[in-house]
Amino acid sequence: MPGRLEGKIAIVTGGGSGFGAGIAQKFVSEGARVLIADLSEENGSKIAQSLNCSFARADVTKRADWEALLQTALDTFGALDIVVNNAGSTYHNKPTETVTDDEFDMVMNVNVKSIYLSSSVLVPYFLKNQRKGSFIQISSTAALRPRPGLTWYNASKGAVSTATKTMAVEYGPKGIRFNAICPVVGSTALTHLFIGKPDTEENRAGFVSTIPLGRPSTPADIANATCYLASDEAEFITGVDLEVDGGRCV
């Protein structure tokens, strides 16, 4: 049986940890050739080695790193089909009036400027080659049902979802799809920052109590949804915010 992503070539940012590592694993298991891009050389190369896929160290807030990523994908695989903008960050949950300029700049750069740069550098490749493409951004339920203490993280994800819908309508006629996934809280390296305390079952309970299906999201949940949107099964789907949230946003 061919995989659901057989023959496709994908860049997965932030693939060295959490949801991104889960997405890279699912993509490889479905036949995709994957280039993991991560700021962490150690984590990214470890995951890539375990999955037998490629790795490039990249800072998604830097144009030159995106240009190098495209070149690496073309040199290694000869083409590009799928871009998963998963790398993201947050500051510690806290009263909004205490957020610093550096924290604000950090979330906007990592979460929003990365989407701007990925489209600015990669869309011309798809247009020039008249190649269909699928961009999937990992947004958040924070874009749709914001929680207190995370104002500028929430706003950054709102920007991710809105930019995604805009590009879906703009580039639909060219065959390039743009979709966003909105995960509810999971258990990753970022979770202690979202909940403002150590990531234990007890400390997560307040967040989880608002999820009808009664558990946090897992990397496999996010990876399965991302695989669907990346695959040809979703060829008529563009501009959606797909909530992977156990019913949290209802």
> To the nearest whole angstrom, how small is the minimum distance from the Cβ of residue 146 to ligand NAD?
12
Region of residue 228 (phi > 0: left; psi between -120 and 50: alpha; otherwise: beta)? alpha
Judge contact between 226 and 26, C-beta under 8 A.
Answer: yes
Determine which one of 91, 125, 153, 171 is catalytic. 153
Residue that is written with structure tokens 């790398």 in the block = 87
Specify the residue, 129 or 200, whose C-beta has the smaller distance to ligand NAD: 200
H helix or E strand, kind and range, residue 9 = strand 9-13
Binding residues for ligand NAD, rule: CB under 6 A, are 13-14, 16-20, 38-40, 43, 58-61, 86-89, 110, 138, 140, 183, 185-186, 188-191, 194
Specify the residue, 96 or 129, whose C-beta has the smaller distance to ligand NAD: 96
Is 153 among the residues known to form the active site? yes
Which residues are bridge partners to 38 per DSSP? Answer: 57
Specify the residue, 9 or 185, whose C-beta has the smaller distance to ligand NAD: 185
> To the nearest whole angstrom, how small is the minimum distance from the Cβ of residue 213 to ligand NAD?
15
Specify the residue, 3 or 146, whose C-beta has the smaller distance to ligand NAD: 146
> To the nearest whole angstrom, how small is the minimum distance from the Cβ of residue 236 to ligand NAD?
25
What CA–CA distance (Å, rounded) separates 18 from 16? 7
> To the nearest whole angstrom, how small is the minimum distance from the Cβ of residue 160 to ligand NAD?
8
Q: Is 239 exposed, middle or buried (0-12, 13-18, 19+ CB in 10 A)?
A: middle
What CA–CA distance (Å, rounded) separates 30 from 81? 14
The residues carrying an active-site annotation are: 153
